[in-house]
A and B are shown apart, each in its own frame.
Chain A
């Protein structure tokens, strides 16, 4: 029995996982990061456009602060987010940018004086302030009131991942590469680590830790058309689900990005539209202002994606042999801007489409992009139901995105969650709860159970092919659990997925070796992915309303009176073919920003009975506190600072706002 012991086991080597490990290490705890691939190849690198933090350095960001970022994020979430978590996030995001600046991220900087930008299709000259010269710059992104997205050209995620990855190396954090967690070790109430498979030798190893953190990113690959990397298969969430104890939150909340290149689904950044790019139809007509006169191309992603699909349904999409699509036009930004600030976009267009975006239009259509749901945790990142299990980043639902995430809030979340959860993981290790007493019998049984599962697959005479089942699942999800959802489609999807899950118990392999066997990997991962797909589809079927990215054509109204609650999915018995759904209500009376209209998209919702009461309470409080500063008012509306780890508390200095 091979056992590796550490204080903190981190599953996933992207930005969130690495930052958690660094945090724990800085507090004196040993940490090991497990990664399917070399850490710097993680999907975090694919974040192009930038990370939101209310620094307010550029002139178009002047007046920005945590309050504005908070409001944008909560509206973006369609009031599905946990508002205290959003507050923790927006207050930490500026600190994260500044930490990364100190760690060497070459953030694009403000240059004082005049510069020409494209706003609403027009060339406009703006003048940057002298006092901002040399500070971190921000660009415009969808769903935001101010220019808030800090960026490194359009390789933001890459630059961040390399800086954080190098810090992990500097701190001596080992990354065990090409190692895959295939099950959590737990006794029904506490998590003790994971059973891990070496993807080169096939060996199974028990990794035992005081605290285990899942930071494995999203589940985009359960869809056929996705911007996600091939390793984003939702396996981390599935590990938690398969404990039967940990719950997944809001799995039906799936984001589709407006500009996946067509047909490959590779992402081109929201920065294209943030910097002034336009969406056009088959006739070359700019259609977004017809639907969204206020925010146009820069409404939130769920809204823009729906409007695009709506426009295609009207027969106004461009036709190609692969199907219909629309056009992204960034030619108006000029070659210099594209080659300087959007060079990844240029390379992608050049290599995958053979077009030059400085002169050609880019074929685009919405593609699955982000998993808002994930392992349900408290604000500390710890599972609400399985002690010692933490989650951070896209794999988690702590829950700052609700039913729709704003562009630029995901890489921001990875590092912010890493900073916050890293501290709480260290606290946990130092607390009496962190003490570990694990029976070796539990380790042996966990290893034996996984060995038996793999041997059964390797020796199976089953007739089903894993890659066929996986492809059928992906097609079903893209066809029936996509941007527009209907009850009957969702029912078909659920039945279809149940059938696939049953069939996946009869997978046979052509390749029987236990070493680097890609077919075996596809087989056991497909079994897990089907459970994640079922959580998404059943959650979507049950939720008979429309909220954020979850849009039901048969229930187009956002219904706060019945659905202002978070879906919790658990998988009680391995033999089941459906998750068990439960709900956790959101408390309007403790919200800083009670539900209302987002300012874009359809104005179509039913109030929660508490909403008018809470709105009245807030109005009175504002009245009473007139003349006091925004921090005093905020702390009365919804206290949150006590929830942050001590070292991360405190205000953020800005050009226009000095520290107290």
Chain B
């Protein structure tokens, strides 16, 4: 076990004092006069500084119109996906001490741009959910809530949770080659959802139903196996395995 005093030092020991330069891609698509441009902001690094802290400080002290999204600021809600030095990630839990002094920030591609670093992931995810019907299709209509719940194998519950941990941040979609070319590709997020409900014994759907949903080039066969999704997933979901597995299952369905 670490000595408490030593841990205290590690809490303190963030590199204070560096001069950081944030190169932010800015644009307001609703403003006819706006042209996409990179604006640079300089900020002194503080101990424990995250991109959440840095961007808020820039907005408070330098540029009040800078648009970005944060909600939980704890890496849980998935609001703050953006390109950090070209790589999709959650800004709130990115510490500046892990980055070079020059930091480029850009909105996630693929999603509709709201302004600056803010994109409409909510709209994209809702459409994906409606298309793939990402809810349990219950076998029975009404459950008697007074009765003991149905049993589930503890390991299976854990396996479902493992895939249920997706926070719909959109990083996988932003890192996806297919999604850049095909507007209607469901992305790793969508395929992972199908894998999740497929595992769930409470869902009445079978592989023939899932084939209808993702047995296409907009679905699992659109994946080019570049696996950018797997590399950037902030929750370390096993996307690579799930896509490969489902592709085999769906191919089998297709061959009938």
Contact = CB atoms under 8 A, between A and B. Distances in A.
Interface of A: 37-43, 45-46, 94-95, 97-99, 101-104, 106-111, 133-137, 152-153, 155, 158-159, 162-163, 166-167, 169-170, 175, 177-178, 200-201, 229-231, 262-264, 266-267, 280, 282, 284, 318-322, 327, 331, 340, 344, 347-348, 351-355, 359-361, 363, 467, 509-511, 513, 515-519, 648, 650-655, 659
A110 B184 CA distance: 41
A363 B64 contact: no
B74 A46 contact: yes
Contact of B153 (A134, A321, A322): A134
B71 A331 contact: no
A601 B167 CA distance: 39
Given A166-B135, A169-B130, A513 B65 contact: yes
A39 B122 CA distance: 8
Given A169-B134, A509-B64, A655 B50 contact: no
Contact of B75 (A110, A163, A351, A360): A351
Nearest to B115: A516
Nearest to B60: A467
A230 B203 CA distance: 36
B122 A177 contact: yes
A45 B76 contact: yes
29 contacts: A38-B79, A40-B125, A41-B122, A45-B167, A98-B143, A102-B136, A102-B138, A104-B202, A104-B203, A106-B160, A108-B154, A111-B154, A152-B161, A158-B76, A166-B129, A178-B114, A230-B70, A280-B4, A320-B11, A320-B12, A331-B1, A352-B48, A354-B11, A361-B7, A467-B60, A516-B114, A516-B118, A518-B65, A655-B148
Interface pairs A-B: 8 shortest CB-CB: A38-B122, A134-B151, A104-B136, A95-B145, A166-B135, A351-B93, A109-B154, A106-B160
Nearest to A159: B164
B253 interface: no
B10 A355 contact: yes
Nearest to B148: A653
Interface in B87-137: 93, 95, 114-115, 118, 121-123, 125-126, 129-130, 133-136
Contacts of A134: 151-154
B164 A45 contact: no
Given A135-B148, A169-B135, A321-B12, A45 B72 contact: yes
Interface in B32-85: 47-48, 50, 59-60, 64-67, 69-79
Contacts of B10: 353-355
Interface string B190-224: 00000001001011000000000000000000000
A229 B157 contact: no
Contacts of A229: 71-73, 77
Given A41-B79, A110-B154, A166-B129, A361 B4 contact: yes
Nearest to A40: B168
B251 to A, nearest CB: 27
A348 B75 contact: yes
B150 A101 contact: yes
Contacts of A352: 48, 50, 74, 93, 95
Given A37-B71, A98-B145, A159-B164, A107 B157 contact: yes
Contacts of A163: 135-136
A106 B148 contact: no
B242 to A, nearest CB: 16
A262 B168 CA distance: 28
B122 A230 contact: no
A327 B70 contact: no
Nearest to B125: A38
B165 interface: yes
A101 B150 CA distance: 8
Contact of B78 (A41, A355, A653): A41
B64 A519 contact: yes
Contacts of A97: 149
A518 B66 contact: yes
B7 A360 contact: yes
Contact of A37 (B31, B122, B123): B122
B167 A109 contact: no
Contact of B146 (A42, A344, A653): A653
A95 B145 CA distance: 5
A46 B70 CA distance: 13
B2 interface: yes
Nearest to B159: A106
Interface of B: 1-2, 4-5, 7-8, 10-12, 28, 30-31, 47-48, 50, 59-60, 64-67, 69-79, 93, 95, 114-115, 118, 121-123, 125-126, 129-130, 133-136, 138, 143, 145-154, 157-158, 160-161, 164-165, 167-168, 197, 200, 202-203
Residue with the highest number of chain B CB atoms closer than 10 Å, among A101, A159, A267 = A101
B151 A133 contact: yes
Contacts of A103: 135-136, 138
Given A95-B146, A354-B10, A347 B75 contact: yes
Contact of B30 (A155, A200, A266, A654): A200
A43 B72 contact: yes
A284 B67 CA distance: 45
A301 B138 CA distance: 38
A229 B73 CA distance: 7
A111 B156 CA distance: 12
B152 A515 contact: no
Residue with the highest number of chain B CB atoms closer than 10 Å, among A201, A262, A267, A347 = A347
Contact of A360 (B2, B146, B164): B2
A167 B64 contact: no
B48 A263 contact: yes
A515 B70 contact: no
B86 to A, nearest CB: 20
B162 to A, nearest CB: 9
A159 B161 contact: yes
A135 B11 contact: no
Contacts of B8: 318-320, 363
B237 to A, nearest CB: 12
Nearest to B124: A38
B157 A230 contact: no
B195 to A, nearest CB: 13
Contacts of A517: 65
Nearest to A358: B1
Contacts of B65: 511, 513, 517-519
B161 A653 contact: no
A467 B147 CA distance: 52
A229 B147 CA distance: 36
A108 B75 contact: no
Contacts of A40: 77-78, 125, 167-168
Given A229-B77, A344-B76, A158 B167 contact: yes
Contacts of A331: 1
Given A46-B72, A104-B135, A340-B158, 14 more contacts: A37-B69, A38-B79, A40-B125, A45-B167, A135-B151, A166-B136, A177-B122, A178-B122, A262-B11, A263-B48, A284-B4, A331-B1, A363-B11, A516-B115
Contact of A659 (B93, B114, B125, B147): B147
Contact of A153 (B143, B161, B202): B161
Contacts of B122: 37-39, 41, 175, 177-178
